[in-house]
Amino acid sequence: MIANTPAPPYYAVIFTNIRTQIEEGYDETALQMVQLAEKQDGYLGHESVRNGLGITISYWESLEAIRNWKQQNDHLIAQSLGREKWYAAYKTRICKVERDYDFFI
């Protein structure tokens, strides 16, 4: 599903990753992180896909909202578990969205 974001400017956090073979607890934690992010001040939505390479883009009102999410306690635990168990590699990019447009049938 395509996130319904407001008019720019807003921010995008692009989390690109390659998983390990370890599955234990991953799906439950990923769902918990989505549910938790949805409750954070400044959260605008997200999009996620995995086809070997995983890409999740979350959208935020401000850099402050992104900093607060990064430091949220349960998210810190999930980040640590990701480094220890679930990800062979990842990269996080933070971008300012200055323009967007869409098309729907």
Q: Which domains does the chain have, with CATH numbers?
A: 10-97 (3.30.70.100)
How many helices (DSSP H) and strands (DSSP E) are in the chain?
Answer: 3, 4
C-alpha to C-alpha distance for 105 and 103, rounded to whole angstroms:
7
Q: What is the pLDDT of residues 44-92, one digit of tens each?
A: 999 999 999 999 999 999 999 999 999 999 999 999 999 999 999 999 9
Q: Which residues contact 58 (CB under 8 A, 6 or more apart)?
A: 12, 13, 15, 37, 43, 44, 45, 46, 69
Indicate the pairing of strand 53-60 with strand 10-19. antiparallel
The token duo for 22 is 């370890």
C-alpha to C-alpha distance for 64 and 62, rounded to whole angstroms:
5
Mean pLDDT of the chain: 97
DSSP state of 24: T
Q: What is the pTM of this model?
A: 0.94
Strands (E), the chain: 10-19, 43-51, 53-60, 87-97
Q: What is the pLDDT of residues 15-53, one digit of tens each?
A: 999 999 999 999 999 999 999 999 999 999 999 999 999
Q: What is the pLDDT of residue 63?
A: 98
Q: What is the pLDDT of residue 96?
A: 98
